[in-house]
Structure 1
Amino acid sequence: MKNIHLTLLFFLCKIFLVFAQNSTFDTKNEIEKEVRALEMRRFEMMVHKDTKGLSEILGEDLVYIHANGVLEKKSQFLETLDKGKTLYQSIQSEEVGIRVIGDAAVINGVATVRVWTVGQTLDMHLRYTDVYVRRNGKWQLISWQSTRIQS
């Protein structure tokens, strides 16, 4: 009888672990979808010069490193957009991978970007990494860095 109880207890523990792992997996998938949707919304806001919307998504401690090596903080990035110094005409993202680590999400992807800056239009193929953190229930971008992919 003791062996039956131990066997039953063992199987119940295994079933509990499987459900707990599946629940964690489902939660991570939902977070990945949420962050991915926010990332696409951010790209749309950049194209439409929606600096008010971007201001809510960008963390106050943002470090934004462009493909040319220029580093901007949040206020500089928004000012550049607002004053039309840089105009994003299109941003198409592909090959996106998202890793969720606690209250942080790291995105690695490839994007094709058409941007007007310094008096010329540039078509760039970029590999990028960005980091979002969840603060007070909202995801905010705190880091972006991109590198041109040579054709």
Structure 2
Amino acid sequence: MKSILCSFFLLLAVSLSGFAQTADEKAVAAAVEKLKTAMVNPDKNNLNNIALPELSYGHSNGLIENKATFMENLLSGKSDFVKIDLTDQTIKVVGNTALVRHTLTAETKNGGVPGTTKLSILLIWQKQQGQWKLLARQAVKV
């Protein structure tokens, strides 16, 4: 009985270790949350700090924005996220690059017109001077 119990706990420990996040994965997850917050409550400094100057921000309709346009559209209300929910998130860190995939479900009010959207998102983050910064984003409709 002891050997069965020991085997069970060993199997449980090995299984759970696969779900543990590394420090970088936790930092990337925190950066994703900062981005989400900055998109719902746009602030010029927060948006500027979260994204790299080379940002390529792709929409599901094929439109691609640079950093300046991305920020302007959020700050002006042209792109207005009222609420964002992220699900099914995965994070893969490779060196100083992180790939994040998730499903984004949002309530929007783009240009003052209420709406909803559900998108599959790929975010590419780059670690620079100890900080994870958004380099690219691409969305596709679910």
> Under TM normalisation by the shorter chain, which class is it?
0.7 to 0.9
Task: Point out the structure with the larger helix share.
Answer: 1
Of residues 68, 75, 78 in structure 2, which corresponds to 1:82? 75
Are the counterparts in 1 of residues 34 and 50 from structure 2 also a CA contact under 8 Å? Answer: no
CA RMSD of aligned residues (A): 1.7
Tell me the alpha carbon deviations over residues 43-84 of structure 1, each in whole angstroms, 9 at most, x when there is no partner.
011101122111001000000001222110000111111222
Are the counterparts in 2 of residues 99 and 106 from structure 1 also a CA contact under 8 Å? Answer: yes
- TM-score, L = length of structure 1: 0.77
Residue segments in structure 1 that go unaligned for 5+ positions in a row: 1-24
% identity of equivalent residues: 27
- The question of 1:135 aligning with 2:128 is answered yes
Structure 1 residue runs of 4 or more that deviate by more than 3 Å after TM superposition: none
Residue segments in structure 2 that go unaligned for 5+ positions in a row: 1-17
Displacement after TM superposition at 1:120 (Å): 2.2
Of residues 80, 84, 87 in structure 2, which corresponds to 1:91? 84
Indicate the structure (1 or 2) with the bigger Cα radius of gyration: 1
- The question of 1:111 aligning with 2:100 is answered no
- Look up the match of 2:36: 43
Are the counterparts in 1 of residues 107 and 116 from structure 2 also a CA contact under 8 Å? Answer: yes
For 1:68, give the aligned amino acid.
N
- TM-score, L = length of structure 2: 0.81
How many residues were matched structurally? 124
